A and B are shown apart, each in its own frame.
Chain A
């Protein structure tokens, strides 16, 4: 494992290569990037016609409103065939309801109610991708109503609430604090494999992670051309 090289020499070399690569790969000259100006202007109306995304702040939510009661009708028409009459899921089709408080248990049930961190995601995803066979068919009112139905079924919304831009922006999901940033690399680099058996019957044991002081090299392997890089 490159024990003959000082790591600092390697780091220096990589930095030098990175600097050179950046220089070669850049369109910049004397610190400023060239402006090519080939794009066509996009008017505010054109932005509105293509922009369907909703931010966690609620920015991007359209005008409109809907209640869970109205949502029940929309759900029965467009959703129940796959997700079940009460959002319980069916086969390959995920459950939308239930599982609150189950994430730390040995049988976590991951649904919109138990898992999703933001309520705006529910609206955004329904408008973006559902119903599966005909996404885009629902009006803004219907998406609000469906969102209200799913949130009410999960006891996140009080019964009878009419959901709109302001109401949805204010909804706090039960698992909103349940997410952490990627801490990787989380598996220690000394995770070299060390064997204490060498027969295939015990392969599962052999390949378990037993950290060892030194990287054991092959002292007798029938190979040629190993330990050589083909640069």
Chain B
């Protein structure tokens, strides 16, 4: 398969040779005794990807460069872990430079023993590693609006999945001792805009982590270095980055991002608030918009499924626009609130058709169509557009092998 987004396939053999003495990838038809080889580059302290790889995050230029999002190239991702360097970003006031030697986490409010923790002190506490996705509440909101993304990066690129390492929030709250009146925890970042969200105590004690590690190394600066909250399965906005303060309170703080933004405006003019969970979703990443099939024959249809309510139970794929469905194979491990990779080998006969996937999670919830979502929620945008959209994403496959959004 040829792809306009998978750079490795953009390079012909000719360009390999043209890359000069460093390129050893081109295999001659027959190795001759006269061939002189050159040695490769030396070791290096911190690894870089091959110079042939071009996969990159995508973002438009904005009037306020510190505010905005970059989208993860999901079509280029193998397996379920998003490389830290390609994890989607969303910042409200730029990426701060935080010195870990000076950074502290303060915990106060309705607690018996207000305390502060340096990074060194946090590392003394029992740690845990867990694979979870983070999805921006606004991911795929443009699909709701009826302005579908041309590529899976544009439509669904505000979700990524990493292995996170840190301390359970329940451990920290036990250290400071909760007072009986404690109901919510406000988390606040050290970015310029002091981004803040309130999280119900039940969730805080259930599975929230305070993390310093991502995919085997320290968090990337744009992911909250040196410390962030990880709220599994919930809209990404609550996983506060550059975490500096936890304020235990008896009611939600009603910060701007929970009182106005990330609310869903309904047709009657009322708005839904505290819609935290990201519902079961899936998208075919290959073949997907912008890609090109080389010709008829066997291909692998593959994609990602995830649910903020638990594990993925089943993914069905239709290769005829929803007329019939086939159960895709799910790649183990199938983890709680994590990406699940699905696959379905398929023999394309050259016909024009529509490919679409549909997930079901362990609660029995089935990923709905766009029409079903609109029937339930209407077409009114909230202050920051549409949030919490998880409709089916169909891709049209043309006779010439070109894949576009429907």
Contact = CB atoms under 8 A, between A and B. Distances in A.
Contact of A110 (B188, B279, B382): B382
Contacts of B362: 14
B265 A108 contact: yes
Interface in A50-95: 50-57, 91-92, 94
Contact of B323 (A37, A92, A198): A198
Interface string A38-50: 1111110011001
B116 interface: yes
A231 B332 contact: yes
B325 interface: yes
A120 B125 CA distance: 36
A121 B372 contact: no
Interface in A95-134: 103-105, 108, 110, 112, 115-118, 120-121, 124-125, 128-129, 132
Contact of B344 (A33, A110, A226, A230): A226
A40 B358 contact: no
Contact of B259 (A116, A181, A215): A116
A38 B121 contact: yes
Nearest to B120: A38
**Most chain-B Cβ atoms within 10 A of its Cβ — which of A178, A191, A206?**
A191
Contacts of A221: 319, 324, 326, 346
A184 B256 CA distance: 22
B331 A129 contact: no
A20 interface: no
B56 interface: no
A220 to B, nearest CB: 8
Contact of B194 (A47, A110, A135): A135
Contact of A193 (B266, B328, B369): B369
B71 interface: no
Given A53-B188, A135-B194, A221-B319, A207 B370 contact: yes
A208 B371 CA distance: 5
B128 interface: yes
Contact of A188 (B247, B349, B372, B380): B372
A218 B368 contact: no
A226 B365 contact: no
A51 B108 contact: yes
Contacts of B320: 195, 198
A36 interface: yes
Contacts of A103: 265, 269-271
A161 interface: no
Interface stretch (B16-24, B45-53, B73-81, B167-175): B167-175
A78 B174 CA distance: 43
Contacts of B388: 184
A31 interface: no
Interface residues of B, number: 111
B115 interface: yes
Contacts of A94: 383
A8 interface: no
Nearest to B375: A209
Interface string A124-150: 110011001001100000000000000
A213 interface: no
B254 A207 contact: no
Contact of A27 (B168, B323, B353): B168
Given A33-B174, A94-B383, A223-B344, A209 B329 contact: no
Interface in B323-375: 323-332, 334, 343-347, 349, 352-354, 356, 358, 360, 362, 364-366, 368-373, 375
B332 A230 contact: yes
A132 B64 contact: yes
Given A56-B254, A110-B260, A187-B372, A203 B394 contact: yes
A219 interface: yes
B77 to A, nearest CB: 18
B365 A230 contact: no
Given A41-B114, A129-B194, A203-B396, A121 B259 contact: yes
A230 B272 contact: no
A224 B383 contact: no
A20 B294 CA distance: 49
A203 B253 CA distance: 45
**Most chain-B Cβ atoms within 10 A of its Cβ — which of A42, A219, A225?**
A42
A37 B323 CA distance: 61
12 contacts: A1-B314, A14-B362, A33-B170, A53-B196, A103-B271, A110-B382, A120-B254, A125-B256, A180-B270, A188-B372, A200-B406, A226-B344
Given A116-B256, A129-B194, 7 more contacts: A42-B108, A51-B108, A51-B245, A129-B256, A132-B67, A179-B273, A226-B329
Interface of B: 62-64, 67, 92-93, 106-108, 113-118, 121, 124-126, 128, 168, 170-171, 174-176, 186, 188, 192-196, 244-245, 247, 249, 251-256, 259-260, 263, 265-266, 268-277, 279, 313-314, 318-332, 334, 343-347, 349, 352-354, 356, 358, 360, 362, 364-366, 368-373, 375-377, 380, 382-383, 388, 392, 394, 396-397, 406
